[in-house]
Amino acid sequence: MSSFLPRPSLTNGHWMTLYAWGNPRYFPRLPPPTRRLFDVAPATRVVADCHWHARAWEHPTLLALHGLNGSSDAHYMKGLAAKAFARGMNVVRLNQRNCGDTEQLAEGLFHSGLTADAAHVVHELTQVDGLPAIAVAGYSLGGNLALKLAGEYGAFAPKALVGVAAVSPIIEISECTRALERGENVLYQWNFVRDLKRRLRRKDRWQPGRFDLSKLDAIKTVREFDDVYTAPYFGFRGAEDYYHRASAMRLIDRIRVPALIITAEDDPFVPPEPFRDPKVARHPHVDLRLSAHGGHCGFVGPRGPNSGEDDGYWAENQIVQFVEARTCA
């Protein structure tokens, strides 16, 4: 695998992050998806946008997980899907609970360490559908989920699971929320909080009175939202307890499948220090790509010689190559 080289205009982590968030992308070669519902818990369904090849059981499958407040339509989800599908992989772009306008399908909330839904999808695709090889790839929150899931499996991972990949994963959630609270990150904090509030208000339309919205207007940070809503709902003692227990760092030393981690020194709110911990940096199953540049879920480099095939989104290419190396005979 190559090292990441940013576009010359995107060597600042904030510029890289904002460019990746706001740059419009189009995927004319990605076929329309088939929507699929997964019954992951009582009164709880999640929706996936799936791209299947003919004779899907003869192709490896990539399960893609989005970040906080994202959805299956996030640009990196579609970008990754387009590249993976073009290389012969089935792709399942999963919406987390309540994401992608699916608040009506789940009775409760979601949190950053809730791996049960992804585990259910992996089980259904491999044990019910009989797909022989599957990889899980996630961005930001989704990256934490992918790594935490692999840690929870430990030595008992499904034989069909060929590996996991994570881009800008929030493996120590508390450190990331503290970084969000720095002054230079006010825009990211505002955006996350705005979307969390919107989602809870939409939830209230389907389940009026289920959640107390009287405290919502006063909330200004992700930590405050989690203290008031996420942590109590899931039985955590508070935001810090939730962050500690939901972080992949607690289980990363148990990973026994190949794992690719891509993250950047200049990520505005995912500090690089946890990735230097020997549990990560010296893990025999972890391929760590800690780059000087890349921002948060950015990693936009120069376009390839054929821009239709390589649009410069380096991390997406690395994930596809990682999965190919573990599924091609």
Q: Mean pLDDT, to the nearest integer, of 44-62?
A: 97
Tell me the per-residue pLDDT of 137-158, one tens digit each, with 9 for 90 and over.
999 999 999 999 999 999 999 9
- Spatial strand order of the sheet with 34-41 comes to 34-41, 44-51, 90-94, 61-65, 134-139, 161-167, 259-264, 286-291
Assess whether pLDDT exceeds 90 at residue 305.
Answer: no
Q: How many angstroms separate the Cα of 218 from the Cα of each of 110, 215, 239?
A: 21, 6, 17
pLDDT band at 328 (very low <50, low <70, confident <90, very high): confident
pLDDT band at 329 (very low <50, low <70, confident <90, very high): low
- Mean pLDDT in residue range 83-111: 97
pLDDT at 1 over 60: no
Residue 171: its pLDDT value, please? 98
Please report the pLDDT score of residue 308 as a whole number: 56
Per-residue pLDDT tens over the stretch 7-20: 999 999 999 999 99
Helix (H) or strand (E) holding 263: strand 259-264
**Proportion of the chain above pLDDT 70, given as a percent:** 98
How many C-alpha atoms does 98 have within 13 Å on its Cβ side? Answer: 23
Per-residue pLDDT at 100 exceeds 70: yes
- The answer to whether the beta carbons of residues 203 and 98 sit under 8 Å apart is yes
Check pLDDT > 80 for residue 306.
no
- Supply the pLDDT for residue 310: 78
Kindly state the tokens that stand for 137: 């790839």
From the centroid of its chain, how far is CA 61? Answer: 16
Mean pLDDT of 279-296: 98
- Per the DSSP assignment, residues forming a β-bridge with 291 are 264
Name beta bridge partners: 216: none
Mean of all residue pLDDT scores within the chain: 96
Band of pLDDT at residue 102, cut at 50, 70 and 90? very high
Number of helices and strands in the chain (H, E): 12, 8
pLDDT in tens, 176-235: 999 999 999 999 999 999 999 999 999 999 999 999 999 999 999 999 999 999 999 999
pLDDT of residue 136: 98
Contact between 296 and 140 under an 8 Å Cβ cutoff? The reply is yes
pLDDT band at 304; cut points 50, 70, 90: confident
Tell me which residue of 62, 47, 57 sits closest to 117, measured CA to CA: 47
φ, ψ of residue 4 in degrees (nearest 5): -85, 130
* CATH number 3.50.50.60 is the correct assignment for the domain at 8-171+249-327: no
Question: Domain coordinates of the chain in residue numbers?
Answer: 8-171+249-327
Q: CA-to-CA distance for 221 and 275, rounded, in angstroms?
A: 25
> Tokens 């389940």 sit at which residue?
207
Residue type, 34: T
Look at residues 222, 216, 223, 187 and name the one whose alpha carbon lies nearest to residue 200.
216
Give the pairing of strands 161-167 and 286-291: unpaired
Percent residues over pLDDT 90 in the chain: 96
DSSP one-letter string for 32-63: PPEEEEEEEETTEEEEEEEE--TTGGGS-EEE
Alpha carbon 180 to its chain centroid, in Å, reads 18
Q: Which residues pair with 259 in a beta bridge?
A: 164, 286
Q: Provide the pLDDT for residue 309.
A: 63
